[in-house]
Amino acid sequence: MTNTTTLLRKDAPVESTWDAASVFPSWDAWQAEFEALQADLPSLTAFAGRLGEGPAKVATWLEASSAFRRRALRLQLYPYMHTVVDTDDVAAKGKLGQASGLMGQFSAATAFAEPELMELGDTLREWAQREPGLAVYAHYFDDLLRQKAHRRSGEVEEILGMLSDPFRTAFQTFSELTNSDLKFADAVDSQGAAHPVRQTTLPPTGIQDSDRTRRRTAWESFSDGHIAMQNTLASNYIGHVKQSVFNARVRGYDSVLASMLEPFNTPLSVFHTLLKTFQQHLPVWHRYWEAKRRILGVETIHPYDIWAPMATEPVQVDYRQAVAWLIESLRPLGQEYTDVLARACGEERWVDWAPNAGKRQGAQSLRAKNVHPFLWLSYQSDLPSASFLAHELGHSMHSHFSDSNQPELYSDYSMTAAETASNFNQALLRAYLLAEKPNDANFQLALIDEAMITFHRYFFIMPTLARFELAVYTQAEKSQPLTAHFFNDLCADLFAEGYGDALNDDRTRTASTWSQFLHLYMPYYTFQYSVGISAAHAIAEGIQAGVDGAAERYRQFLSAGSSLYPKELFAMAGVDLTSPAPVEKTFGVLAGMVERLERLAG
């Protein structure tokens, strides 16, 4: 949903907006580049059938395709930036559709390449040793040949490339339905005043208010709105699930989970270890519900109380203060890191933080090649906003270091690595602030509020949704029926286990949680948040303890992109993804927050 502030976009102070002109100076320049890329597309198809001619041809191909992709991603970034800050910009939406279509054409036009390279087999490895221009791609070739069994002929790959755009329909339909078309009844506060409820995924507007009646009616309205559309939402999600199963089967994977992890050479045990360890530590969450109930002074705690503020007074944090705190908290990473961060939040204007009318809710880091990253949020001058800023800057700094140190082919990184960088920034900021004002009870409660909302999202909701996905995809892979009723019962059961006896649940409304998350339209993305926050706290622990070389290893982690497999990448940073240890360490951090809260509750 759009932001409800009365500040018009055109009136937002320049320093609070990002520098979109650094991407393209005008729409005319964008259109010229779009036409140039369309004209250049046939030059890529000219390589078809010729990659076996020798190492020089392969080197030329990789350079040409990478250069085209960099340009196309930049082309896609510019209209997307406009639609984010102004959801009524119809022209930008049209341009974004053009750019997305071009990316689909690029996928189809280049689909021949990897099957051809795979046919070369060990010859590729020999060429990487002989041709200086190919040496850097040795890991890429090894990775490609490792996945040979899951690649299809050039003709089939071309068709699959053409399907990538129409297969995004379910994702787009969910986004349009929930962000634009879905309406909610007003919430009502304890004085009888009405308040609009708007889409923000979770928590919805008003659920963080100190007025309990408003929290309850906002949560009920938000849930009821999704329940009213549950059959449409279920039909849309079923379509997405079937598409995912199709993709996995056509590529010869045993499951959708395997199709998401094996391309990254990530053992399936990483997923199952996380869920097993999460279930074992659910009593920590049960303790938290009880401690929060005591702090709030209520007889029973309900789902709508999860986001209730515990601090008696909100802590005001303006944007510049948040940036200053973040820079100080990240000093252990060195001068280069903090200097880039300062420029990003200052003169280079990576951040669009003005809460203007028409701006989307939420926050996001954007990246494209040949230009620095960008991020957007609606900064509200409070601790949660400072934390969101830290999170998204973690993504952006990761992109900066990866893009600065890797060729285009390696500049992307896994979802797990992405969520590690973002949560790492929050972990260090939080630790810094806890130490800054140890005797300010209100500040401590406000900080615990922020921390527990973050943990609740990434370390409670996301692993619970991952368990939901596993059950759904298992059902689909066995050709068993999927229905809204199945989704509701499954979701309600999983959340009931997480709430235990400490929280008084509203099963019918909690059951609708599956229908509220766009994340489910990215198969098994949910668990990556939990692995990421676990790795982040494990790495942060070493750096905070002053472990020799820990900060340098983390900078190498940020700079490596996809030049290593995730398991090797995390090992370099001192984290074993297959072990329960990182998850257990993070539950230790969570338990420490609960203990602080229990002491404050007396």
What is the torsional sign of CA 570, 576, 580, 585? negative
The pLDDT confidence band at residue 164, using thresholds 50, 70 and 90, is confident
pLDDT at residue 258, rounded to an integer = 97
Nearest to 139 by CA among 264, 266, 51: 264
Average pLDDT estimate for 288-295:
96
Average pLDDT estimate for 377-392:
94
Whether the per-residue pLDDT at 579 is higher than 80: the answer is yes
Average pLDDT estimate for 504-525:
96
Average pLDDT estimate for 178-206:
88
Whether the per-residue pLDDT at 167 is higher than 90: the answer is no
Average pLDDT estimate for 208-231:
96
Structure tokens at 156: 């089939």
The pLDDT confidence band at residue 149, using thresholds 50, 70 and 90, is confident
Mean pLDDT of the chain: 93
Tokens 């240890």, residue located: 581
The pLDDT confidence band at residue 82, using thresholds 50, 70 and 90, is very high
CB 212 within 8 A of CB 308: yes
Whole-angstrom CA distances from 54 to 57, 59, 112, 128, 148 are 6, 9, 16, 11, 20
Q: Is the pTM of this model over 0.85?
A: yes
The pLDDT confidence band at residue 2, using thresholds 50, 70 and 90, is very low
Give Cα 591 distance to the centre of its chain: 25
Question: Using CA atoms, how far apart are residues 87 and 3, in angstroms rounded to an integer?
Answer: 10
Residues 296-325: tens digit of each pLDDT: 999 999 999 999 999 998 899 999 999 999
Whole-angstrom CA distances from 15 to 23, 309, 373 are 17, 31, 16
Residues 365-380: tens digit of each pLDDT: 998 878 999 999 999 9
pLDDT at residue 3, rounded to an integer = 55
Q: Return the minimum-mean-pLDDT range out of 141-150, 200-209, 425-434.
A: 200-209
The pLDDT confidence band at residue 602, using thresholds 50, 70 and 90, is confident
Fold of 9-164: Butyryl-CoA Dehydrogenase, subunit A; domain 3 (1.20.140)
Direct distance between the N- and C-terminal alpha carbons of the chain, in angstroms, rounded to an integer: 40
CB 58 within 8 A of CB 117: yes
Residues 5-64: tens digit of each pLDDT: 678 999 999 999 999 999 999 999 999 999 999 999 999 999 999 999 999 999 999 999
Whether the per-residue pLDDT at 69 is higher than 90: the answer is yes
Break the chain down into helix, strand, coil percent, rounded to 5: 70, 5, 30
To the nearest whole percent, how much of the chain has pLDDT over 70? 99
- Burial code of 106-127, b = ≥16 C-beta within 10 A, e = fewer? bbbbbbbbbbbbbebeeebeeb
3-state class of 2 per DSSP?
strand
pLDDT at residue 1, rounded to an integer = 43
Whether the per-residue pLDDT at 429 is higher than 80: the answer is yes
